[in-house]
């Protein structure tokens, strides 16, 4: 039961980006999102990776990376994470996973990689890939407190496409991009004290109806009167039999 609340919270999102690659493929201090190339041309293919350094194993994972769908498209994303659900859609790479007993193994680190491509008609410019949601955690012994085990240092990366004009602004990561980006914690041992509450019941609730309430009240009164009458009749019959 103690895992159900986290599972409900995590399954609010399921779209994703990657396949496993060795952590050593990137700099030893890599922590967050990484791209294989930062200067690209229209039609180029590249990889976008999420690098989690060695840390404690986790119960759950939730990741969202936003990008500009008018400039990039996802080609492949198949993260091998225990209990995971993933999808790669226009402008979004995401992963959701939930397990009972810390089955997400992070002792040797974890790298999830998506294969991406610059669209042939992508406008020249600078574009951001933004890690808008990130969480790897487990439930502590009290059954309620969740400990975050990963605090990314790199939550956004900028890529140049084509030959943008000097001073060109950075394109939007994607429509409806999450506004809050998790910043790196000062220490990797920080413990989350927030308690996830059960998901709100969003089922339609019955609406009160004055006529309905009135009818129920009338029926209840009639039922009580009938019961009293029956009891009186029974008592009278008993009295007659005694005589």
Q: Is the separation of the CB atoms in 197 and 5 below 8 Å?
A: yes
Phi (first) and psi of residue 232, to 5 degrees: -65, -45
**Of 34-48, 136-150, 190-204, 222-236, highest mean pLDDT:** 34-48
Answer whether 12's CB lies under 8 Å from 60's CB.
Answer: no
Nearest to 55 by CA among 134, 150, 185, 146: 150
Q: Distances in Å between the alpha carbon of 53 and those of 24, 169, 206, 217, 221?
A: 10, 32, 50, 65, 70
pLDDT at 215: 61
Q: Average pLDDT, whole number, for the chain?
A: 76
The DSSP symbol for 75 reads: E
Share of the chain above pLDDT 70, in %: 66
Report the pLDDT value the prediction gives residue 178, as an integer from 0 to 100. Answer: 42
Which residues are CB-neighbours of 25 under 8 A, at least 6 positions away? Answer: 49, 111
Angle ∠(52,141,197) on CA atoms, nearest 5 = 80
Condensed to tens digits (0 to 9), the pLDDT of residues 96-127 reads 999 988 999 999 999 999 999 999 999 999 99
CB 32 within 8 A of CB 93: no
Residue 218: is its pLDDT beyond 80?
no
Compute how many other C-beta atoms are within 10 angstroms of the C-beta atom of residue 217. 10
Residue 189, pLDDT above cutoff 60: no
Confidence of residue 193 (pLDDT cuts 50, 70, 90): very low
* Residue 212: φ, ψ to 5°: -65, -45
What confidence tens digit (pLDDT) does each residue in 78-94 have? 998 989 999 999 999 99
Q: CA-CA distance, 83 to 3, in Å (whole number)?
A: 13
CA dist 106 and 52 (Å) reads: 8
pLDDT at site 19: 36
What pLDDT sits at residue 237? 80
Cα separation of 152 and 134, whole Å?
8
What is the pLDDT at residue 17? 31
Q: What is the pLDDT of residue 208?
A: 41
pTM of the complete model: 0.61
Banded model confidence at residue 169, pLDDT cuts 50, 70, 90:
confident
Look at residue 31 and tell me whether its pLDDT is greater than 60: yes
Structure tokens at 9: 């919270």
- CA trace torsion 158, 164, 169, 172 (10° rounding): -60
Task: With beta carbons less than 8 A apart as the criterion, state whether 11 and 98 touch.
Answer: yes
Tell me if 72 sits within 8 A of 103, measured CB to CB: no
Mean pLDDT for the stretch of residues 60-81: 95
Q: Tell me the two tokens of residue 136.
A: 């790897």
> Which range has the worst mean pLDDT, 35-39, 69-73, 137-141, 220-224?
220-224
Cβ atoms of 22 and 28 within 8 Å: the answer is: no
């Amino acid at each position: 039961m103690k895992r159900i609340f986290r599972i409900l919270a995590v399954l609010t999102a399921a779209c994703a980006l990657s396949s496993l690659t060795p952590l050593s493929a990137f700099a030893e201090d890599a922590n967050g999102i990484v791209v294989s190339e930062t200067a690209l041309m229209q039609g180029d293919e590249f990889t976008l990776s999420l690098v989690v350094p060695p840390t404690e194993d986790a119960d759950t994972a939730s990741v969202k990376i936003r990008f500009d769908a008018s400039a990039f498209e996802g080609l492949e994303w198949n993260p091998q994470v225990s209990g995971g659900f993933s999808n790669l859609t226009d402008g979004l790479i995401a992963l959701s996973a939930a397990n009972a007993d810390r089955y997400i193994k992070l002792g040797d680190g974890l790298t999830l990689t998506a294969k991406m491509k610059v669209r042939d008609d992508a406008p020249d410019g600078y574009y951001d890939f933004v890690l808008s949601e990130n969480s790897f955690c487990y439930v502590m012994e009290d059954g309620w407190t969740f400990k975050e085990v990963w605090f990314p240092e790199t939550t956004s990366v900028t890529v140049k496409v084509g030959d943008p004009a000097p001073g060109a602004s950075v394109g939007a990561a994607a429509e409806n991009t999450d506004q809050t980006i998790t910043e790196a914690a000062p220490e990797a041992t920080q413990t989350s004290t927030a308690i996830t509450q059960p998901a709100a019941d969003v089922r339609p609730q019955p609406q009160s109806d004055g006529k309905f309430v009135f009818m129920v009240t009338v029926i209840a009164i009639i039922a009580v009167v009938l019961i009293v009458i029956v009891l009186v009749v029974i008592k009278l019959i008993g009295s007659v039999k005694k005589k």
